[in-house]
């Protein structure tokens, strides 16, 4: 059976994104636990925790030049993996919530690990036998994760994905999650390759699409990256529109009243809440079990905890349990070392009918110097069963959050 006949179907998801879907038997990588062990083996991680990680400087001599790397196709990196919820009681207990459904934060964490594995499958270097891979793959950006349906905690999940675009040292990873052939979630990650000592970027194999269908996926990915460059949600890259300027004025009038000489009132307008009153925080002490070979914390661990604090925040705001619908533009600014303290703070920054747009900010506190740095900003969309109260800003900073949250929500609505 040739590759063409093994195309089961061509999936076009929301946002016009296309995904490969091949015969999983030919591309299976086993379970997610087995993938974790394969990653450790490929990069030469030794068992046990060491406060000073094993020096990998000796692997720098294997650092290749871009022109020495062979081209790769999408099918070369296409892999599937099983999360054995139905057949492994321990795995199920690790992923189930109190309602008997799969924890969405834990699923996002698994997606991050799977994206790293896809990078390992794409990169092919001319290495001597039994030489560890002189690379480290890190999550640069989670472009989007869309939750399409609740996953049952007693039925296996299948993850499938492939590299859909490459830069000089970056790779876009497209992932699907299925349960009994139903698509549960879709995700796009942007990963970066670093050298053996994590001190400089490393080149990745150029992606050369084969066949007509792969070419379509490639063109769609290139178009996404062009749009991404001109559709930033940040005010420093995308100034306020006239409509947003007018909205800013309306918000000011609603929050301060018509008497500009009167001090800002702390009384909430009818059926409204101030953004500041929605704040929820948690402080975490990461442990070595969540580290990579450089003793920095996996991005998936941070994302899981961000999803969970946002779930708590949205639950208190709505007065009932909401559902995560969409996660977008998760950027990683600083590595989180295993010796750090992590603080996550979440706010409801925008609402529309039964929808809530949340923003979570991650800060890292160095346990030695006690200096504080921002590491991540998360944007999540939750939905409640009933209409929620309107949330309003009460300061200029909160107004900026409100407008950025509105932009993210409108982007989600356009992609539905």
CATH number for position 403: 3.10.129.10
22 DSSP 8-state letter: B
pLDDT value at residue 24: 56
pLDDT digits (tens, 9 = 90+) for 30-83: 999 999 999 999 988 878 787 888 888 999 999 999 999 999 999 999 999 999
Residue 405's Cβ-count burial label (10 Å; 0-12, 13-18, 19+) is buried
Residue at 344 is within a domain: yes
User: Looking at the structure, do residues 215 and 66 belong to the same domain, yes or no?
Assistant: yes
Give the confidence band of 98 by pLDDT, cuts at 50, 70, 90: confident
User: Looking at the structure, do residues 305 and 264 belong to the same domain, yes or no?
Assistant: yes
Give the confidence band of 25 by pLDDT, cuts at 50, 70, 90: low
Is pLDDT of 8 > 80? no
Domain final residue, candidates 229, 262, 287: 229
User: Looking at the structure, do residues 261 and 221 belong to the same domain, yes or no?
Assistant: no
| String of DSSP letters for 91-147 | HHHHHB-TTSBB-HHHHHHHHHHHHHHHHHHH------TTPPP-EEEEEEEEEEEEE
CA 115 to chain centre: 10
User: Looking at the structure, do residues 188 and 270 belong to the same domain, yes or no?
Assistant: no
User: Looking at the structure, do residues 79 and 205 belong to the same domain, yes or no?
Assistant: yes
Give the confidence band of 213 by pLDDT, cuts at 50, 70, 90: confident
User: Looking at the structure, do residues 102 and 223 belong to the same domain, yes or no?
Assistant: yes
Residue at 234 is within a domain: no
Listed range (29-38, 240-249, 363-372) with the worst mean pLDDT: 240-249
pLDDT value at residue 22: 62
**More confidently predicted of 112 and 49:** 112
For 96-116, b where at least 16 C-beta lie within 10 A, e where not — what string?
beeeeebbbbbbbbbbbbbbb
pLDDT value at residue 21: 63
Task: Kindly state the average pLDDT of the residues 161-178.
Answer: 96
Count of domains forming the chain: 2
pLDDT digits (tens, 9 = 90+) for 294-305: 888 989 999 999
Listed range (137-141, 294-298, 381-385, 389-393) with the worst mean pLDDT: 294-298
Domain final residue, candidates 202, 229, 256: 229
**Spatial contact of 172 and 166, defined as CB atoms under 8 Å apart:** yes
Residue at 235 is within a domain: no
User: Looking at the structure, do residues 194 and 258 belong to the same domain, yes or no?
Assistant: no
Residue at 214 is within a domain: yes
Residues in the chain: 416
**More confidently predicted of 369 and 148:** 148
**More confidently predicted of 43 and 84:** 84
Say what the pTM is: 0.88
User: Looking at the structure, do residues 303 and 188 belong to the same domain, yes or no?
Assistant: no
Structural domain including 42 reads 4-229
User: Looking at the structure, do residues 53 and 168 belong to the same domain, yes or no?
Assistant: yes
Residue at 236 is within a domain: no
Residues 6+ apart with CB under 8 A from 87: 156
The C-alpha atoms of residue 134 and residue 148 are separated, in whole angstroms, by 37
User: Looking at the structure, do residues 136 and 255 belong to the same domain, yes or no?
Assistant: no
Residue at 100 is within a domain: yes
User: Looking at the structure, do residues 171 and 270 belong to the same domain, yes or no?
Assistant: no
User: Looking at the structure, do residues 180 and 308 belong to the same domain, yes or no?
Assistant: no
Residue at 123 is within a domain: yes
pLDDT value at residue 45: 81
Domain final residue, candidates 229, 257, 277: 229
Residue at 237 is within a domain: no
Listed range (39-53, 67-81, 157-171, 357-371) with the worst mean pLDDT: 39-53
């Amino acid at each position: 059976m040739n590759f063409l006949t093994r195309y089961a179907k061509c999936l076009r998801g929301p946002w016009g994104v296309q995904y490969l879907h091949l015969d999983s038997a030919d591309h299976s990588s086993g379970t997610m636990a087995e993938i974790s062990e394969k990653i450790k083996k490929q990069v030469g991680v030794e068992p046990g925790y060491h406060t000073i990680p094993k020096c990998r400087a000796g692997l720098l001599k294997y650092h290749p030049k871009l022109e020495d790397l062979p081209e790769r196709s999408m099918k070369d990196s296409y892999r599937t993996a099983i999360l054995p919820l139905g057949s492994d009681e321990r795995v199920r207990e690790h992923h189930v919530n109190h309602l008997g459904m799969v924890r969405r934060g834990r699923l996002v964490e698994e997606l991050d690990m799977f994206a790293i594995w896809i990078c390992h499958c794409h990169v092919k270097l001319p290495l001597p036998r039994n030489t560890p891979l002189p690379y480290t793959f890190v999550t640069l950006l989670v472009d989007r994760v869309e939750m399409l349906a609740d996953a049952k905690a007693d039925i296996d999940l299948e993850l499938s994905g492939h590299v859909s675009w490459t830069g000089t040292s970056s790779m876009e990873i497209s992932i699907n999650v299925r349960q009994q052939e139903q698509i549960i979630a879709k995700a796009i990650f942007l990963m970066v390759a670093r050298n053996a000592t994590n001190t400089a970027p490393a080149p990745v194999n150029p992606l050369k699409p084969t066949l007509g269908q792969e070419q379509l996926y490639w063109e769609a990915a290139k178009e996404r990256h062009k749009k991404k460059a001109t559709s930033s949600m940040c005010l420093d890259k995308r100034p306020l529109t006239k409509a947003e300027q007018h909205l800013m004025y309306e918000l000011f009038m609603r929050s301060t009243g018509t008497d500009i000489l009167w001090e800002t009132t702390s009384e909430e307008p009818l059926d409204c809440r101030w953004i500041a009153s929605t704040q929820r925080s948690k402080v975490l002490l990461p442990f070595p079990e969540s580290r990579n070979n450089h003793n920095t914390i996996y991005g998936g661990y941070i994302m899981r905890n961000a999803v969970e604090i946002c779930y708590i925040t949205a639950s208190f705001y709505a007065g009932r349990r909401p559902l995560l619908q969409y996660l977008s533009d998760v950027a990683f600014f600083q590595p989180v070392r295993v010796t750090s303290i992590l603080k996550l703070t979440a706010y409801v920054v925008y609402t529309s009918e039964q929808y809530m747009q949340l923003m979570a900010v991650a800060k890292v506190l160095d346990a030695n110097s006690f200096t504080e740095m921002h590491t991540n900003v998360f944007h999540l969309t939750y939905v409640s069963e009933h209409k929620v109260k309107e949330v309003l800003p009460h300061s200029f900073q909160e107004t900026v959050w409100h407008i950025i949250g509105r932009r993210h929500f409108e982007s989600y609505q356009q992609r539905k």
